[in-house]
Structure 1
Amino acid sequence: MSLSGASERSVPATKIEITVSCRNLLDLDTFSKSDPMVVLYTQSRASQEWREFGRTEVIDNTLNPDFVRKFVLDYFFEEKQNLRFDVYNVDSKTNISKPFPTYASYSLLLFLLGRCWDPQKDFLGQAFLALGEVIGGQGSRVERPLTGVPGKKCGTILLTAEELSNCRDIATMQLCANKLDKKDFFGKSDPFLVFYRSNEDGTFTICHKTEVVKNTLNPVWQPFSIPVRALCNGDYDRTVKIDVYDWDRDGSHDFIGEFTTSYRELSKAQNQFTVYEVLNPRKKCKKKKYVNSGTVTLLSFSVDSEFTFVDYIKGGTQLNFTVAIDFTASNGNPLQPTSLHYMSPYQLSAYAMALKAVGEIIQDYDSDKLFPAYGFGAKLPPEGRISHQFPLNNNDEDPNCAGIEGVLESYFQSLRTVQLYGPTYFAPVINQVARAAAKISDGSQYYVLLIITDGVISDMTQTKEAIVSASSLPMSIIIVGVGPAMFEVCPFPRLCRPIREPGAEHGPTSQGCAGRDPRAAAVLYAHQRHPASSPTPCQPQPNLSSRAAVRSQLILCLAVCLPAHPLLLLKARGIWSPGTHWEASLEDQCWLVKPSAPSPTEGSGAVTISLPSCQ
């Protein structure tokens, strides 16, 4: 997670990684301890509004969490960058996929899975401070009291800042252990590893946790990948401490032992096994004949480079942009001003605006500027055949249009010739693009499909299957919803779930589609709020006289799947500004992700990345 908005400034930014820990949190659970999670908000320079920036993982049953997931922010020395850290108790049945509200708007919160969530009950406290305070603290560390729960001591939050290096290597390793100490009375042990990197002041910062292997003294952990800068920030001789714990359900994990190493020493395992003695200092002092608490063996270690969007573009990768537009009757008669397809002489329709906003960005990376454009849900002349995949230029052999202007021209022409009908089917056009993407295996082409629609998907099952079938292909899907439909509800609500610890170590990992392949085309879901929607503190009352007079918001609802090889999912920056009251932007985002092996206890992780909830 990195703070967007750097494009607005001319001064180069420094990347700062923030590590979060809490101590002595409130205990809100009756039969266990709290399950804390921290949500970071940043304050807009212009509006002074607080926007959710990111979240840590959830750690079960602890009042003293050390969160593995970091926040990476752009630091500007000449600016005051205000931060707000809110701490919540998140039960397993609480839906945390939606943005958290500000404390002042708690009464507006939603009904969540299985129960009505009481934010005042689940709120553990908050802290306000500037990014400069963290960086300027002794050892770039600060501790602040949590406040916000009247009459109670909420504990403290500890923040550590470190400037990130430019190292883009990814280390993949696998470890096993032998003859660990037995810690469970009715069983053996449930061991897991915790990795820490050393700091200049002698302290350690958590950077990774393995999964738990149940009931064994000889565990073999799954291979895992971690950025080298997370492990040692590019300093190959920096001390890496690895603790071995026995997992307990109540969160009071038993310490088995520890050992230290370094990235340079770990890298030697590329040629040979490396065995480490696990030592428990307390047992070593008490027992004269103490040898060790077991051994840990590094079975394998490899290093790969993480490539950026610019690397792929320099290497010759081309983006192929395809458009699919909803021609169902629910959009209204294109000749009437109430229609979402209405061709006004004064302003573009909602469909045309969405097309221009995305297309004008992506077309810069397409060398031939030829874009296949399709419509779906219409009756075609002369026989009135219903089609869910017809070329807008009426040329089945060559559906390409010359540039975005060519797509718009063909779109307007189709509105004059076809009859809007229905239903809303996505699968045919997804399969069409997937067939084209399947022909590419050398990374030279990447396909982006933009689907613009006004309503609920009618072939949800087939659409899910189409996405899963495209799981290994280099393609992304952008779904933009327009009009009054309930687009706040994600069209693929069960394909994502929040990450819970352990298994959520250093950022988002891939989530399988419906429990299947953890790879596929990413889905970006965006919508425009209807004028009738209730205003919020950061959504002013719209002018109801015009459909275009709405305050819009973009939500990245989910990244359902990921391409088989790491590649840019989407990089877009632009503003939709057809009228005074219309305001929506595609944030400057660049996500580079790759599949990861599922955890044997938790399953694969989830990708849940949110754009700011209010623009």
Structure 2
Amino acid sequence: MNLPPREASRDLTTSLRIRLFAANLPKQGRGLLNKQNPSAYAVVTSISTSDGYKVPSTDASFQRQGSFEGYRWGDTEIVNSRNPQWTRTIPLEYEYGSESYFYVHVLQSNCDGQAVHGHGSTKSLDSDAFSTSFGTALFEVSDVLGTRNTTKVKRLRSGGCVFCKIEPVQQGEAGMRVCLQVEARGLVISHGNRRAWTSNSFYRKPDALFEIAKQHASNSEGAYVTVYRSTPAVNTLDPVWDAIDLDCGTLCNGNIDQHLRFSVLLQKQKGNRELIGLAETTLRHLLQQNSSYIGDTECANGGDNDPVEKYKELILQRNSSKLKQVGCLRIGGYELIPESTNRSLSLREVGSVEGTVLEIVDLAELSPIGIPSSATGFQHYIERDCEIKFCVAIDFTSSNGDPRFESSLHYQSPQTFNDYEETISSIGRSLSAYIRTEEFAVWGFGAKFDGKISHLFQCGPDPTVKGVDGILEAYKSVIQGGLTMSGPTVFCKALQAAAVRAKRDHEIMTPQTLSYTVLLVITDGNGDSLDETRRKLLVYNQLPLSVIFVGVGRSDFGQMYSFLQESTRESMNCSFVEFRKHQYNPAALGRVALCQLPDDLCAYMRRRGF
């Protein structure tokens, strides 16, 4: 029976971006005196575990072929540094519950004449065979998303390490771009800790560039992530850089109140950079026409009919703890504009705007650019440390067969998993990527103990187990314990046990202590007392609880499909998946089983106003 997909499953596929950093890459060149910083860039190749393409798994295979097999998702710009922070991101479409692996190849460009600074700089390489490899790292999307700050680090073969950060692209980011003109005045450069260069210095003036970094959204005191790097302005203490045009998602995750850090850097001959000064602000402040932060200046260009540009002046300080002024940063010139707006912008040498913006966005209407409450994504709550609590209930009724015989669904084979083990492994590992504590409850139902039927009992010696392997061990301990299988198949006690946990969390939940419970019920039959099960699910619908039923074996699950149709009409947080339809594709089983979870979780959080 084919059921129409629930509208809520739209949150299953989400747009992400991959951001890459590296640290401690080895210097290049022969001899101690000829060592130089590497011109490093990264290539991302991605491949699904379900298709037949083959991705190089070693650096040797890459160097031999001179190119990558499989899907090439994109590359970063080239940065001349041992600790490159690449600003170009790699887009990614990801389906929650699926396994999606990708390789990050960190490479040294051996070609001269490369653009190594700009946000949009590209390689003029005909083939990656002209590059040498520092190493290759393998990442899995859900594994990265499940970590704190959604960042993983892997060591590289030739030395150093690569950091992979995956960010969600929120719905509110789409369609808005920001254009800014940045320049500096009166930069003070410390030289050998003995001499300060000023605007009337006899020496050659420095080459300066600037970077924009945004504060990590999930950490109010956390590190900043570089999102833009300019090309250097040469031989000047009053640099005027090219105008920048960035989408709001890249710049500030669509949140105009997110903290931004502007850093002005000295570009040295060997590629090293030295901080001149920095200033912190927000996009909202930059776009406001009337502000008293540091000061507003007007720069008139030409006659009375020429456009008048407003600039914000930000004081540059040596660092956030030292208040010594080392110049000022002037930001202005452009507006926040819809991406669909037709505009023609041309710059004079001083950076003024000759074109006009056809449509200006009112600051009073900017609040929806942030994360919309009606479309808040699953990953947003995971980044806010929402704790997913996983419980498993296993059917031990007599219809499964005697586990001592191979015909039983509970038969323990030394070579392969049975249907119950395969279900636990597939769904548990798909979900555990978003669980940080991995303390799981494992229950059974439908067995006799001391001649008395039990519709709920603990599997294993401990109330909770550690990880998916702990669930499998607890399950095996029950089978090896010689229990007596019985009946009927009753789900209500397991539902009640999960609801007790969810209710406790529901009563004490705050925006800082978010949690959600997922109950996996694995059964070989349709279950008895489905009317009572439906009533309980309707009562539990207001709790942070989702129930996933998985049917194993060869039974006719017609009643369960009918039950699912009724639950869809009544908006109960439950779903049903038939194992045999996905038994040869474990990744698909986990993906289909969890397809409703993002919507259930988001709907509950929105009802609570979180």
Q: Same fold, TM exceeding 0.5?
A: no
Please state which band the TM-score falls in when normalised by the shorter chain: 0.3 to 0.5
Larger radius of gyration: 2
Name the TM-score, length of structure 2 as normaliser. 0.42
Give the number of the structure whose residues are more often helix, by fraction: 2
Name the TM-score, length of structure 1 as normaliser. 0.42
